[in-house]
Amino acid sequence: MKQTKYIMSGGLAFAEEKDMEKLRRFSLKGWHVNDFKFMGYTLEKGESLDYIYSVDYRSLKEEEEEEYFDFFSAAGWTHVASEGNIHLFRAAPGTKPIYSDRDTTVEKYENLNGLTKALVIPLIVVTVLVWLGTMISAGSLKSVLQVVAVILTIIAIPAAWTAIATYSNKWKVEGKKGLAKGVRMIPFVLFAIAVMVVAFVDGSRSAIHLLAYMVIGAVALPSVIWGIMSLYHKMKRSRT
């Protein structure tokens, strides 16, 4: 029976390069990624080998898949796994990168941004409309809308944060570093606004307070988890 284990991802929108470097370190120890899993990867035990890893973002029709993977194979990149529009490849060190210049790297993130935008913008619009509905309704309708709004917000906030990160990555490659850094601050600005709402606005049971608490949790919880995981991996590397 093959040995397998799971490792957590830092989130490709937030830590793509760190994830790829982490997969390389595991390959050097004989643990090779063979599939995507929820918020991470499955690794399989094998021979210690040096692989470099890279991801591509592209929506493919079934008839396009063979030509797409053959193109990368001819360039020295072996397909490892796919999850939706995310495709993971590996190659020997020294292989020409999948994206070797700024224009093609920008194209990579444009592919991801187009797919993300098509999902995130409608989700945010619907979520905002439902929250507005909770603020102007009453009785049982208000209760139902609040439940729907909470569920949508739980999905919308991480999705929006991911979209912000993908646009930031694109602008960083384009040389718009100020814009890239600024847009990454949006979640933390919203966090500060939510804290002020909770602290200074009356009506602890109002819809706006409920939304503020959700924003605080949605920003604080992932940040704490990311901090703990980063500290864990740093401590683990220092011991090896």
Q: pLDDT (tens digit, 9 = 90+) per residue, 210-221?
A: 778 778 777 777
Q: pLDDT (tens digit, 9 = 90+) per residue, 24-45?
A: 999 999 999 999 988 889 999 9
Would you give the distance in Å from CA 122 to the centre of its chain?
Answer: 18
Domain coordinates in residue numbering, the chain: 4-98, 102-228
pLDDT category at 13 given cuts 50, 70, 90 is confident
Q: What is the pLDDT of residue 25?
A: 93
User: Helix axis angle, 139-173 relative to 186-200, nearest 10°?
Assistant: 150
* Residues of the chain above pLDDT 90, percent: 21
Tokens of 110: 């444009």
Which residue in 156, 160, 197, 173 sits closest to 108, CA to CA?
173
Q: What is the pLDDT of residue 50?
A: 94
Cα separation, 127 vs 161, in Å, equals 15
- DSSP E strand boundaries for 40-187: 40-45, 52-57, 78-83, 86-91
Q: What is the pLDDT of residue 79?
A: 94
